[in-house]
Structure 1
C-alpha cells in the first residue's frame, strides 16, 4: 500500500463571533497571508488564486493566476482574453476561485459570476507591470500550441526590439486581447484546518451577487468538516 505523508493541522481554527458579511474576515485573512509571505519561506506566493471555469461543452478546468484586485466588490485577476479561461468565461461567466495557504492552515473559496474589467482599470494595471511582463503579454498567445521554447523566445526578442525599455509606462502598448475579470460573489467560504481533520468552516451566501460588505444581504452558517 502506498505510504502517504500525514500531517496533523495545528491551526487556530475560526474563533469569535462570525460577522454578518464575509468582507472583514476575507480582507484580514488575505492580509495575514501576505504578511506570512514576507516573513516565512513556506508561504512563497500568498496571492496564488486557483480559478475554475466551465467550457461551452460543460467541461471544467482549473488553473492558477495571481490575485491582483481585492475589495468589497470581489476578487479580480488579469489575463489574455483569448486564453482558455477567457473563452470559457465568455461562454459561461459562472466561476469559482480559491486562495489556499497550507502552511497557515487556511483557505478562502469564492463562487459567483465573472465580469470583464473596464479598459481604464486594465490599462492602469498593465502600465504598472514590469517592462518584461508587458512584452511577455504580447509575445504569448496564451493557451495556444507552440513548436518549442525557441519560438517564444524569438517572438520576445522581436518585440523587445520594437518596444525597447525606456523606463516609461507607455513603452509597451496595451494589447486589445489582454484584460481582467472581477468575480461578483454569491457564496464565500472560509476554511481553517484543525487537528484530526476536524476543521472549521463558515460560509456566507446570498441570493444574487453583490458587495462582500453589504449588511443585511448575507446569511452565514457553520459547516461540518
Structure 2
C-alpha cells in the first residue's frame, strides 16, 4: 500500500469530477459535534484539497449551526461517497479558520447572485416565508447595484472558510462478495498541523 493516501485521494477526486454520472463530485458529508455534545451532519462542497499537506477547505456562514459547532470544538469528520465509482473516503481531524485572503479570493470567484445571497441569508435562522426571503434578496441586490450590476461585493465578515487538517484518512473500494478493500492512514495532530506527509498505514477488514 502507498505510504501516503494523498496522491490517491487527489486522483479519486479528479476521476469523480470527470465522471458523467457524478453531478457534485466535491459534495462531502460534514459531521460535527456542538459544545453540548449534540452531533449533526450535512452536505457541503469541498472547495480545496491541498494534496501536499492533506488539508480540505470548505466555505460557509460562520454564524450557522455548523460554523458555531466548528468554532466550539475545532474538530470534524468528512465523508466523500461516489456510488458510480464504488469508492468512499472518510477523513477527520482538527479544524481551523481559513486565512482571510483565501476566503476573500474564493468569495470573489463566486457567481454574483451567490455573493448577494451570502449577504441576504442569516444561515440556519428562521424566516417568515419564502416571499420574505426573496424580498430581502431583492433589497440586498439593489444595495450592491443589482444582480446584473458590476459593483464590487465584499465578503461578509461572518462568511469564510474552514480547513480540515486530516489526521486520519480511510479509503474504501467496493469489491465482489463484500470483500471490500479498506485501508486507513493516520498521523499525529502535530504532523497534521504542519502538513507533514508522513503516515502510518493499516489495511482493515471490510
Compute the TM-score of the two structures, normalised by the length of structure 2: 0.93
Aligned length, in residue pairs: 202
- Corresponding residue to 2:132 among 139, 151, 166: 151
**CA separation of 1:203/1:211 partners in 2, compared to 1, >3 Å: closer, same or farther?**
farther
- Corresponding residue to 1:124 among 99, 102, 105: 105
**Inter-partner Cα distance in structure 2 for 1:182 and 1:101:** 22
Structure 1 range deviating more: 125-134 or 171-180? 171-180
- Corresponding residue to 1:45 among 15, 20, 24: 24
Question: In structure 1, the residue corresponding to 2:122 is in which secondary structure?
Answer: coil
**Inter-partner Cα distance in structure 2 for 1:141 and 1:197:** 44
Structure 1 partner of 2:203: 222
Paired residues of 1:122 and 1:179 also in contact (CA < 8 A): yes
Structure 1 partner of 2:41: 62
Spell out structure 1 runs of 4+ moving beyond 3 A: 165-168, 211-215
Query: What does 1:204-219 correspond to in 2, within 5 Å?
Result: 204-208=185-189, 209-210=191-192, 214-215=196-197, 217-219=198-200
Paired residues of 1:53 and 1:89 also in contact (CA < 8 A): yes
Paired residues of 1:21 and 1:212 also in contact (CA < 8 A): no
**Inter-partner Cα distance in structure 2 for 1:22 and 1:213:** 13
Query: What does 1:166-185 correspond to in 2, within 5 Å?
Result: 168=150, 171-185=152-166
CA RMSD across the alignment: 1.6
Unaligned runs of 5+ in 2: none
Question: In structure 1, the residue corresponding to 2:115 is in which secondary structure?
Answer: helix
Question: In structure 1, the residue corresponding to 2:192 is in which secondary structure?
Answer: coil
State the shift of 1:198 in Å: 1.7
Structure 1 partner of 2:16: 33
Structure 1 partner of 2:69: 88
Structure 1 partner of 2:3: 20
- Corresponding residue to 2:170 among 185, 189, 198: 189
Deviation string 1:53-84 (CA, Å, 9 cap, x unpaired) is 00111011000010101113311100000000
Higher relative contact order (CA 8 A, sep 6+): 1
Structure 2 partner of 1:138: 119
Question: In structure 2, the residue corresponding to 1:122 is in which secondary structure?
Answer: helix
Question: In structure 2, the residue corresponding to 1:210 is in which secondary structure?
Answer: helix
> Structure 1 residue 103 and structure 2 residue 84: aligned?
yes
Unaligned runs of 5+ in 1: 1-17
**Inter-partner Cα distance in structure 2 for 1:143 and 1:186:** 29
Structure 2 partner of 1:3: none
**Inter-partner Cα distance in structure 2 for 1:34 and 1:212:** 28
